[in-house]
Amino acid sequence: MNLLITLTLMAFIGALIGGMTNHLAIKMLFWPYEAKYIGKFRMPFTPGLIPKRRDELSRQLGRTVVEHLLTPETFKKRFFNETMHQKTANWLNRQLDEHLFSSTRTFNDWLEIAKQRNVDEKLEAKLDGLVDRNRQAVEAYIAGKTVRELLPDTWRAGTEQKIFDGVNYAIARGSDYFTSPAGRQTVKSLLDEFLVSRGRFGNMLHNLFGDSRSIVDKTQSEIIKFLNSPKTFELLGTLAFREWEKLQDKQAEDILKEFDAEPAIAAIKQYVRDQAGISDRLDATLAETWPGGLEWTSVNITPLITDFAFEMGEQKLEETILKIDMENMVRQQVDSLPLSRLEELVLGISRREFKMITVLGAFLGGFIGILQGLLVTVLNLG
């Protein structure tokens, strides 16, 4: 009976000491928050371990977060993977479709939002200015130059060939005309007018050559012979070539001055404005102006924007993390936490494990107490 009481008492005392010791050790991780003094003597184990090593803890925690938890590779795997790339591209396409291609706003509406008015008139004025600048550029280019200097060699050779071809064509067409009944009638009319206008001299020629028909036949025949003669082609070709040579030696600007270019310039400006159709285009929506715009941008623009954004993000990620100074930020956050909050945070994570440590201490203390009780009993019996 005495043995049972002894063992029970020793087990209770051992369990109490073991449990209380472990519980006190856990509490001493945080308690006390500040150092305690008796006079000038600081009591040992004050403050608690974590308050005492708080600076070292915050630095180590910041270093651990930066070097092992929130590393650039972690961000890259989380945000710069193929899934995020595709989600970003899809999001861009949805935004383009919702805010641009499916919008009922016309270009004029967008311009009104941007506080831009009378844009059609401004653009038409720009087009007129473009025509004027090109005209001035042409005038400046030809100033002081002859037609010969301006014409390319290939054009000059081609033009000379066209001149001779034109002479040959004109002679052929003239010969065909005067051979036809219409040409004969023209010759007759001209001869009749000539004879009538000459009075007695005309009557004398009429008596000399016979009736009008005979004169017409002879004249028509001579005209055709003249036109088909190689000398005629040579004569007309030479004359045409001489005139062409004279034209090439003239100043180009002098030739242009002989023409009133303003009506032509005005017509060109009007043509450009009509072809541009600026007013009609500004009154249309983007979808009306560009029906396949969304499909085109999704293939040609969105991938480029997404690739560029991800490429720049990856390049700037490490630099950004360094600028953020995450290690120092974590340290400051830990230092700014009240010790009670830090204790609650740690205990909230490992409260169950700390309780098991306390129970384990009590169990070991009780077990050791029983062993001590048995050992004492055996020694007393001896």
Q: Which residues pair with 37 in a beta bridge?
A: 42
If you ran DSSP here, which 8-state letter would residue 43 be given?
A: P
Are the C-beta atoms of 334 and 57 separated by less than 8 Å? yes
Q: Which residues pair with 251 in a beta bridge?
A: 146
Q: What is the pLDDT of residue 62?
A: 67
**Torsion 127-297-104-115 (CA) sign:** negative
Nearest-CA neighbor of 310 among 83, 96, 95, 93?
83
Q: What is the pLDDT of residue 126?
A: 92
The whole-model pTM stands at 0.49
Tell me how far apart the alpha carbons of residues 251 and 246 are, in angstroms, rounded to a whole number: 10
Q: What is the pLDDT of residue 135?
A: 86
Token duo for residue 112: 């009104």
Q: Which residues pair with 106 in a beta bridge?
A: 285
pLDDT tens for the 382 residues of the chain, in order: 566 776 677 777 777 776 677 666 666 666 665 666 666 666 655 655 566 666 666 676 667 766 666 666 777 777 778 888 888 889 999 998 888 888 888 888 888 888 888 888 889 899 999 999 998 888 888 888 888 888 887 787 788 888 888 888 888 888 888 888 887 788 777 776 665 565 555 455 555 454 456 667 777 788 888 888 888 888 888 888 888 888 888 888 888 887 788 888 889 989 998 888 888 888 898 888 888 888 899 888 898 998 888 888 777 777 777 776 666 776 666 666 666 666 666 665 556 666 676 677 677 777 777 777 777 776 766 5
Report the alpha-carbon angle 268-270-276, nearest 5. Answer: 100
